[in-house]
Each structure stands twice: as C-alpha cells, then as structure tokens.
C-alpha cells in the first residue's frame, strides 16, 4: 500500500497551522565587509555562507563595502550546572557569546555594539564520556548555526543612520 496520499494531506496540515520554511532575510544593504579576528573560524565561514545565501556581496576591503560587520568577540563557555553526591558533575551548561557592531563608511552605526548569547544545557554521565563529548561538540555546532541565523536576523533590522 502506497503512502503517497499522505503527502498532500501532510502539506495541508502544515500550512493550516501556519508553518512555512524560512526564506531569505530582507537585508537593507547589498555589500558587506566581514571584519573578524580569524577569517577562517567556523563562525566566519558559516556567516559568509549565510550572507551570500541572502544575496549579499562580500568584499575584500572595508572601503569597497556599503557596511562593515565587525565581530568584536566570540566566546564559547562551559559551566557546571548541577553537582551530585561526592561532587560529581551531573549537568553542564554551554554558552556562546558573540559581540558585534555594524557601521558604514562614515563610521555611523547601523547596529550599535551588542552581544548575543545562546546557551544549552546537557546532562553529563561519567560512564559515557566519549558519547557526551561528542554531544557537546554537536551542541556547540548547533549553537554556532543558530548564532549565524540570529546575526542575520539582527542585520535585517539594521537601519542606516538618519541624515540631518
């Protein structure tokens, strides 16, 4: 028995509840220079891909771009969330902080300096160290992807400074 008849019904149910795929963000600029401490960092590479996927031309020099996105800092952090008997760690909390600023050629802020922070909690089990370390890596990768989406969303709300 074929289940192909479910596909249109499934699509109808998804659209009826308001679900739709995220499209491209409408960004108020066409070219950007990405200023980061390490241009080969995973965040920088993923951010470049996200910006190019939204139709933004990335320039090689700040003077060639309409705006400059400066990633001031990027800081992953790991904290103990809960301890069990004997001082054993039961849960960790991962944080990912990114500070950024966007400005134009005249140094006018389109986005003033701000920090975005994401966090994830995950249980720890001393008997499954390798699996838990892999889970931590996956959570960090997931947070980085979420951070790129957050940054692009913030950029979509950026406004050129009011000229007086």
Question: What confidence score (pLDDT) does residue 122 get?
Answer: 92
Per-residue pLDDT band for 14 (boundaries 50, 70, 90) equals low
Q: Give, in order, the Cα–Cα distances in Å from 125 to each of 9, 22, 31, 120, 134.
A: 42, 36, 47, 16, 12
Residue 5 has pLDDT above 90, yes or no: no
* Whole-prediction pTM: 0.81
pLDDT in tens, 39-69: 999 999 999 999 999 999 999 999 999 999 9
Using an 8 Å Cβ cutoff, are 104 and 110 in contact?
A: yes
> What is residue 160's DSSP assignment?
P
Q: What is the CATH number of domain 22-156?
A: 3.30.160.150
User: Domain map of the chain by residue range?
Assistant: 22-156
pLDDT in tens, 117-128: 999 999 999 999
Cα separation of 30 and 104, whole Å? 12
């Amino acid at each position: 028995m074929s289940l192909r008849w479910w596909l249109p019904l499934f699509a109808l149910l998804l659209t009826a509840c308001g679900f739709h795929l995220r499209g491209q963000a409408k960004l108020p600029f066409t070219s950007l220079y990405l200023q980061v401490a390490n241009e080969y960092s995973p965040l920088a590479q993923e951010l470049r891909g996200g910006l190019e996927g939204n139709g933004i031309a990335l320039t090689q020099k700040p003077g060639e771009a309409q705006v400059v996105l400066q990633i001031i800092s990027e800081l992953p952090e790991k904290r103990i969330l809960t301890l069990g008997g004997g001082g054993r760690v039961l849960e960790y909390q991962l944080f990912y902080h990114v500070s950024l600023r966007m400005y134009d050629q005249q140094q006018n802020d389109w986005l003033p300096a701000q920090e975005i922070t994401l966090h994830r909690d995950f249980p720890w089990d001393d008997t499954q160290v390798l699996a838990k370390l892999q889970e931590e890596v996956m959570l960090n990768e997931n947070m980085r992807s979420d951070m790129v989406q957050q940054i692009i969303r913030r950029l979509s709300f950026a406004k050129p400074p009011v000229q007086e």
